[in-house]
Structure 1
């Protein structure tokens, strides 16, 4: 049985619920000592932490919705005052229900992790003379520690300094804790993972493979959070800073990515599309690219419902795949940033949708390019004409390509573009191009951008965009790099330039695109890369593309001028105010311990 079939249900008697901030409503009727006295029940105890991934806090919000806007994904926030729009516009209120849900389930997950951590450490089974039992129990401890680290990383990104809870709830504890410095929190969870990772199991040693936290993912998370700790962050006065000891954390990132590369290296699968198609086919290979993916059971998970290629369904549709939309469109600046021979572009950027006749046609909104890595139309068993949510498609949390690029980034920051840094970057780029192009697109390209530490860093910024488009991690990277506002303004200026050139007829990019479905039933674009004066015959459908970004009344479509406006021209122009207020329910329940001060709130 795969783990995805058992973790979304709350384990009876082994999870806790809470209404007040961090305070349990009821205590389990099972004795914790009993639960963690044996492998089977301990497994169920740790599963309670995973169960929270099945809540809206993660499956629709953190996994994708709340991770826009960036230079490679966008959504309009200014068109409504409802919760998700407030977040997209960086203008959320304390009463924002989405933020409250994320805060609540983050701390529930941390609480459940602390229960497991304490239970496992007190069990005596970590030192069991039964080798198999000791290995399993130590691995379970690593899972709990790593999941706790994930949720603290997220809380710090969204709220800055937050309460740091390191004990399971029990009578006599103080539940209303004050905020802790974000650097203390991140340093703490990094050290916790370092302490446990060597006794964890690799994915090919576990029953659930990449559908559970394994040593690969923990090593990757040590590096990812180390880069967060060593990166830039927003202060209450809306200035950006980084800690004076930031290079120590780049060293940690280098050490632990290198450790994974030495102990459990693997070739990146040659077929980039298949990496993501696997999720829609419910295939989860070990020792491949994906290190951990959240395992959604059928009836759970929003992948290919609110992110992915649009599918128009419903009871009158001629197909049974149901309906799915794409909330995070890809801006044309990102689409045209790709080398036209980069195979990742057409996997990541879909210029088509599926209509009710189960036919492909050009995307709605002309420039509303979809996230092409997932689609409910890829499912082998259609979930039903009226289905929408609950596709069961897993969500990738980290890939080995990420490890290679984190290594390259950390190595460059510490020592410049060394041969090792260059080779890690090359390994990622080789998959993007056919091998007959490696001489120019890989070797010559990397040699050129390795002229300086600065140019190599900018190449890493670009490569991560091309490699991870649609996976919704870009926001966190821009934050730690300190260039969030810069990239947003750069995107807007790029879109304006494209709109002007299309309107004036001075550009080489497609002002119109031409498409058709050929005799073989394939969706075909005549000019995905360049402007053409006219199609060769009348079988082609003409659609305004970059020309559609021009407006006769406002010069540019308002989504260009408003979607990213608060990201570079907000309360402190030139700095993105990405920190949100702590939810009012948490403030009220803290009995005066927590307040929203600073950040312009």
Structure 2
């Protein structure tokens, strides 16, 4: 009965089912049942609220990831920052988040009051401490997402039972974050490393929890949008940068690892179902075959047809300004940005300049192929945090605290950047590059850029732009950059390609002759000309230089004014069920 409750639950967190004390005591009296109860928290990752919404769909638009803004369904409203309280996607995210929080609270309370937590059997005690840390960490993730998307939200930390009030008002988001951070600080030492766990990085582990302390601390120490439409950072923000630095350094000191040299393999592992501990990936959401939307709504596009790989699209395209922001020698660019798709015959074809895809994942990498009629449910895991993130969080926090980059900050930064280039290029592309970023501001700018190049497509950029208070700045830079690319192509200026020339090699792979260079003509007739940057104009042969593709002027239209109103309205059902405690007030809402 209790496990059925964990897995099913109710449709609204304000009206929870209750558990008897007897049931809870029984479940958390032994390791096997406590493990099953903790697993119930993970089950919410398999719902659309996470697998397609929070993991990727709701995390655009940014300077490195963009969505089409022309539709009328729930996700288009969110992408345009025009969502209404009756938006269905917001409703499922809100409800599933609070169901996950409820289940985490049950586990936290159950284990905390269980004799097994203080068992004289060290193995039992260690397992229970691990489960407790998992529950605290998963709860912290869901609250972090609620705060980024809804601002101040109700803060529930108690398991549902008779006499506990769950119709709660909003709590200050900074109070929530401070509490969550302390919970993880208290729990992390009792947790196990990924290589000590049966499911490794497919299970919340000590590495990820330490990384989450740093990520939450930077969120708490960063900027946030207030209801009066101003961006604020609390006066104690340096205290939280210190936490971010200390706990990222703690992971580096206790469980350091070399970043794998092959950047592509880090993500290919997920499509090949290879789980590697003590490597770059710290935690990834484990999707079973038949679950997960990676390779269906994000990744290299594959059209259904006469092949066994099924169909997958890409909701998040890459703006060409991002593609051309990379150094030409940066290995990450061709991994992150997909310039081709697979047609119905499984042949590689060029994508339009406005449809560059997230190249880190593709259903074409699945082995065996999933079948010609498949689409969703690829089973490809979703990355939640990598060690490269921890290194860059340490570098960022240390730079902020010391008013400039220390040798330790530069070393952490260097470890990430070195992987992006062949060793022969390190002297210029790494050493000189870092040496030039000698001031606090210059090093911070380098961090902002490096995080873009390192984590493109992993859909964390939105949250970074928010906490840095750079959202509108980076969006305006993107729009200006796109217009310049369009104008340069239109007027024949610059050195970047107006047209690309491509052909198939002997193995059938699509080869592009000039991805970075303007050519007036192909060297011979074997190459096919393809409209590229010239396509950023709707009418490339017309005399109107302002005729940009509409997505350039519409996709980010509501992101250009400071501050960006990234906060979404609380769903109508939650407002109604709160009996007056919750309101959609402030943020310029007019419902």
- Provide TM-score, normalisation by structure 2: 0.97
What corresponds to 1:360 in structure 2? 348
How many Å apart are 1:11 and its aligned residue? Answer: 4.7
Equivalent residue for 1:212, pick from 203, 215, 218: 203
2:136: which partner in 1? 145
Q: Which residue of 2 aligns with 1:561?
A: 553
1:344 and 2:332 are equivalent in the alignment: yes
Alignment-derived partner of residue 92 in structure 1: 83
> Is the CA contact 1:16–1:25 (under 8 Å) kept in the aligned structure 2?
no
Is 1:503–2:490 an aligned residue pair? yes
- Name the counterpart of 1:253: 244
Alignment of 1:164-183 (within 5 A): 164-183=155-174
What does residue 101 of structure 1 align with? 92
The secondary structure found in structure 2 opposite 1:555 is coil
Shift of 1:24: 1.6
- Partner SS for 1:361: strand
Is 1:545 matched with 2:532?
yes
Deviations for 1:262-291, whole angstroms, at most 9, x for unmatched residues? 000000000000000000000010000000
1:349-406 alpha-carbon deviations (Å, 9 max, x no partner): 010001111111111x333101000000000111110100000000000000000000
1:12 CA drift (Å): 3.4
CA contact (8 A) 1:268 1:288 kept: yes
- For the Cα contact (< 8 Å) 1:514–1:543, is it kept in 2? yes
Match for residue 372 of structure 1 among 359, 382, 407: 359
* Pair 1:238 & 2:229 matched: yes
C-alpha spacing 1:22/1:271, structure 2 compared with 1 (3 Å):
same
Distance verdict in 2 for CA 1:107–1:13, change over 3 Å: closer
Q: State whether structure 2 residue 473 is matched by structure 1 residue 481.
A: no
* 1:242 Cα deviation from its structure 2 partner: 0.3
2:22, 2:386 → 1: CA distance?
37
Provide the C-alpha distance between the structure 1 equivalents of 2:22 and 2:427, rounded to a whole number of angstroms: 63
| Range with bigger deviation, 484-493 or 167-176 | 167-176
SS class of match (2:4): coil
Whether 1:268 and 2:255 are equivalent positions in the alignment is: no
Q: Distance in 1 between matches of 2:20 and 2:532?
A: 58
- Quick check: 1:13–1:28 contact (8 Å CA) kept in 2? no
Q: Are the counterparts in 1 of residues 13 and 99 from structure 2 also a CA contact under 8 Å?
A: no
**Which SS does the other structure have where 1:591 is aligned?**
coil
The yes-or-no answer on 1:467 pairing with 2:436 is: no
**2 CA distance for matches of 1:318 and 1:166?**
52
Shift of 1:318: 2.2
How far apart are the structure 1 equivalents of 2:507 and 2:196?
A: 45
Report the 3-state secondary structure (helix = DSSP H, G, I; strand = E; otherwise coil) of the residue aligned with 2:213: helix
Supply the distance in 1 between the matched residues of 2:104 and 2:12 (Cα, whole angstroms). Answer: 18
**Contact 1:70–1:475, Cα closer than 8 Å, also in 2:** yes
The one of 192, 217, 236 aligned to 2:183: 192
Alpha-carbon distance between aligned partners in 1 of 2:277 and 2:559, rounded to the nearest angstrom: 39
Residues 309 and 326 in structure 1, CA contact (< 8 A), matched pair in contact too: yes
The reply on whether 1:229 has 2:220 as its aligned counterpart is yes
| Equivalent in the alignment of 2:109 | 118
Matching residue of 1:7: none
> What's 2:27 paired with?
35
> Using the alignment, how far apart are the partners of 2:83 and 2:578 within structure 1?
20
Q: 1:13 to 1:447 in 2, by over 3 A?
A: same
Aligned position for 1:63:
55
Residue 51 of structure 1 aligns with which residue? 43
Tell me what 1:6 maps to: none
What is aligned with 2:372?
Answer: 385
Correspondent of 1:19 among 11, 28, 39: 11
Alignment partner of 1:83 is 2:74? yes
Cα displacement (A) at 1:339: 0.4
Matched, 1:402 2:394: no
- Give 1:448 shift: 0.6
SS at match of 1:551: coil
- Distance (whole Å) between structure 2 residues aligned to residue 581 and residue 501 of structure 1: 41
Deviations 1:60-94 (A, max 9, x none): 000000001000000122x1221000000011000
Structure 1 contact 16–26 (Cα < 8 Å) conserved:
no
The aligned counterpart of 1:295 is 286
Does the 8 Å contact 1:290/1:399 carry over to 2?
yes
Q: Deviations over 1:487-507 (max 9, x none)?
A: 001100000000000000011
The separation in 2 between residues aligned to 1:218 and 1:28, in whole angstroms, is 31
Count residues in correspondence.
582
Task: State the SS of the aligned residue for 1:329.
Answer: coil
Q: What CA distance in whole angstroms lies between the structure 1 residues aligned with 2:35 and 2:409? A: 39
Secondary structure at the aligned position of 2:269 is classed as: helix
- Partners in 1 of 2:12 and 2:90 — Cα distance? 16
Deviations 1:16-57 (A, max 9, x none): 512344322464898111111111100000000000000000
Question: What is the CA deviation profile of residues 515-558 of structure 1, one whole-angstrom value per residue up to 9, with x for unaligned ones?
Answer: 11112212100011111111111221211111101133652111
Between the aligned partners of 1:371 and 1:128, the Cα distance in structure 2 is 48
Equivalent-residue separation in structure 2 for 1:237 and 1:583 (angstroms)? 20
In structure 1, the residue matched to 2:572 is: 584
The SS at the match of 2:170 is: coil
- Structure 1 gaps, min length 5: 1-9
Q: What is the aligned partner in structure 1 of residue 277 from structure 2?
A: 286
Q: Which runs of 5+ in 2 are unaligned?
A: none
Cα offset for 1:174?
1.2
Local SS of the residue matching 1:464: helix
TM, length-normalised to structure 1: 0.95
2:147 corresponds to: 156
